[in-house]
Structure 1
């Protein structure tokens, strides 16, 4: 028998027999014993995401805000009647320039008093008079007084709301004085108010195509979310209102910031402007992201990781912020490892479509 025939008839069938036996044994073992726990741990994620940390580092902070807005006329000052009466005289005409305290209108007030009857007078002066006699009455006495209305501010007289000779009630609108001053007005986010709590700050206002940038003083900040707001009466449109649109409208409300434009600067009502407010800076100071701190004014807290990976709350003293990082004045050392996000406030993990975490 040749070697070729031996290989084909004996060796090759024997090899296939051995391979089949090995496969059979493996299948039996897999069916009765199952997969190993170690393999399962490697194949399936635990679902736990390690906390993200950052290092406290030294850098320079510049706390400056750039706020767009417009130039607006100072609000007009109303002239109201100080008492009920008749508009007797106007000392000025529409369009006149007046100074604070100038006379604008005069109100004529007539009042009458009921006199005592002759019977009462006789009874007092002549006790012997006949008490049954008819009393003799006299006409009411009329007194006239005049009240002046003064300009509440320096400015220009607006359109009259009344005419000479009109009867007016106390508090009725007579006219208005329009001051010739201007404000630079913008809107900032409510949280940014913490960055410019110093009321002595000034702003630099720039008007494209206008005068040179100028200093705007008397910086003031006030809520403007409900300014000039009028209550709406629910109607058919209210039933179809989109809650998402309402929420967006509420979130867009902020705080109004304004300052006085100097009198020697030529501006006009409605001009677009940009207001730059420099609220201070700090060089080479220890900083952490604002997302790492709970409380950003005066004092706050950060969370550091100890050697065992445990999160420990640490009180810190805070300084200025630029809205991204905040100065840490005490309570933390350089290169300390802190959580990037305050516990419970970390943003949701973004996953690719179809990705699932198996518990």
Structure 2
């Protein structure tokens, strides 16, 4: 038997048998003990994302709230009949300009004598007047003026002279010739407008130069209702308190101010309102996403040398919706968590017009 035949019939099959056995033993070991080399490898994935931190920085914070809205003519004021009677006189005509308190109408009012007088005459009859009192009582006639509730222009009358009207009936309207700038802000942003003496700068594209709008008012509106029973995300403060102009049609709080009388505007014009609500220069700041509670007192989280999260109470100041002033509780160059524990980080969104989708960097 040649050496070649011996190699093919005995040595080569034995070698393949040995290789197969080694492979089988290796698979059994991996199945029950795991890979020691993979456990020792520092790059082996663990499924845990390390907490993202930011440094406390020194910067300037400008609390400027931008609101989109419209120019609106003040609502008309209705003149109502104070009592039942006849409108017998008008001191003005439709289209006249009047001042608040000017006389608009006069009413003729007829009332019957009070019943107390009749009771007294029945209990103490006077023979000399008994014949006169037996006839029907005559009504007492009086006149009453109706005054303009506001300064403005008188609309078309809702009645004709000498018409008999009932109490509360509409007689006419006075349309004020003053305008207001009106926008809507998220209720949470009302915390940024705590100063009652604030003013706004109104800009109208294609209109007059930006002007100061005084007598700033903030009040709730009856916009679309929201389901308050749903849990609010822990980072809701960060989402709402942004520096971008807010949509006037969103539900929230209505903000308005008076347009100066010497500014030429028209009802329905779109505008942007900038409210300067304070600033702070060269102060410690952190992102609003790092703070729980954005008014007065709040809390941030730091990491100790073992990576444990430590809650730290801080005193807060001015915010621009992106960063917030830290007045006490932290030192410069301290390191804090970028997001409040338990909150969902909000990625910056970018809209691609060609793809028609949102891109998350």
With the shorter chain as reference, the TM-score category is: 0.7 to 0.9
Aligned counterpart, 1:259 = 257
Specify whether residues 72 and 21 from structure 1 end up closer, same or farther in structure 2 by C-alpha distance, changes over 3 A only.
same
The answer on whether the counterparts of 1:97 and 1:155 sit within 8 Å (CA) in structure 2 is yes
Once the two structures are overlaid, the 10-residue window that deviates more, 89-98 or 137-146, is 137-146
Question: Pairwise mapping of residues 335-346 of structure 1 onto structure 2 (< 5 A)?
Answer: 335-346=333-344
Aligned counterpart, 2:325 = 327
**Superimposed CA distance per residue, residues 18-54 of structure 1 (whole angstroms, 9 cap, x where no aligned partner):** 4642431341353367343455757985433332222
Specify whether residues 6 and 289 from structure 1 end up closer, same or farther in structure 2 by C-alpha distance, changes over 3 A only.
same
**1:183 deviation in Å?**
0.8
**Superimposed CA distance per residue, residues 275-310 of structure 1 (whole angstroms, 9 cap, x where no aligned partner):** 222222222211111111111111111111122211
Of 280, 283, 298, the residue aligned with 1:282 is 280
The answer on whether the counterparts of 1:119 and 1:135 sit within 8 Å (CA) in structure 2 is no
Q: Residues of 2 paired with 1:8 and 1:334: CA distance?
A: 84
Aligned counterpart, 2:78 = 78
**1:316 deviation in Å?**
0.8
**1:15 deviation in Å?**
6.9
Specify whether residues 68 and 136 from structure 1 end up closer, same or farther in structure 2 by C-alpha distance, changes over 3 A only.
closer
Secondary structure of the corresponding residue to residue 210 of structure 1: coil
1:24 aligns with 2:21: yes
Aligned counterpart, 1:87 = 87
**1:338 deviation in Å?**
1.7
Aligned counterpart, 2:221 = 224
Of 199, 204, 218, the residue aligned with 1:202 is 199
Specify whether residues 61 and 38 from structure 1 end up closer, same or farther in structure 2 by C-alpha distance, changes over 3 A only.
farther
Aligned counterpart, 2:106 = 106
Aligned counterpart, 2:154 = 157
Q: Residues of 2 paired with 1:276 and 1:119: CA distance?
A: 75
Aligned counterpart, 2:235 = none
The answer on whether the counterparts of 2:184 and 2:250 sit within 8 Å (CA) in structure 1 is no
The answer on whether the counterparts of 1:200 and 1:218 sit within 8 Å (CA) in structure 2 is yes
Question: Pairwise mapping of residues 32-71 of structure 1 onto structure 2 (< 5 A)?
Answer: 34-39=31-36, 45-71=45-71
Aligned counterpart, 1:147 = 144
Q: TM-score, normalised by structure 1?
A: 0.78
**Superimposed CA distance per residue, residues 220-262 of structure 1 (whole angstroms, 9 cap, x where no aligned partner):** 11222349x9xxxxxxxxxxxxxxxxxxx9x931222111111
Aligned counterpart, 2:176 = 179
Gaps of 5+ in 1: 127-132, 230-248, 350-359
The answer on whether the counterparts of 1:71 and 1:183 sit within 8 Å (CA) in structure 2 is yes
Once the two structures are overlaid, the 10-residue window that deviates more, 324-333 or 199-208, is 199-208
1:303 aligns with 2:301: yes
How well do the aligned residues superpose, as a CA RMSD in angstroms?
A: 3.4
Q: Residues of 2 paired with 1:190 and 1:49: CA distance?
A: 34
Secondary structure of the corresponding residue to residue 139 of structure 2: strand
Q: Residues of 1 paired with 2:50 and 2:15: CA distance?
A: 49
Secondary structure of the corresponding residue to residue 34 of structure 1: helix
**1:101 deviation in Å?**
0.9
Secondary structure of the corresponding residue to residue 49 of structure 1: coil
Once the two structures are overlaid, the 10-residue window that deviates more, 41-50 or 186-195, is 41-50
Gaps of 5+ in 2: 226-246, 348-361
Specify whether residues 171 and 26 from structure 1 end up closer, same or farther in structure 2 by C-alpha distance, changes over 3 A only.
same
**1:55 deviation in Å?**
1.9
**Superimposed CA distance per residue, residues 43-72 of structure 1 (whole angstroms, 9 cap, x where no aligned partner):** 985433332222222222222122222211
Aligned counterpart, 2:313 = 315
Which protein shows a greater Rg? 1
Q: Residues of 2 paired with 1:286 and 1:149: CA distance?
A: 61
Secondary structure of the corresponding residue to residue 252 of structure 1: coil
Q: TM-score, normalised by structure 2?
A: 0.77
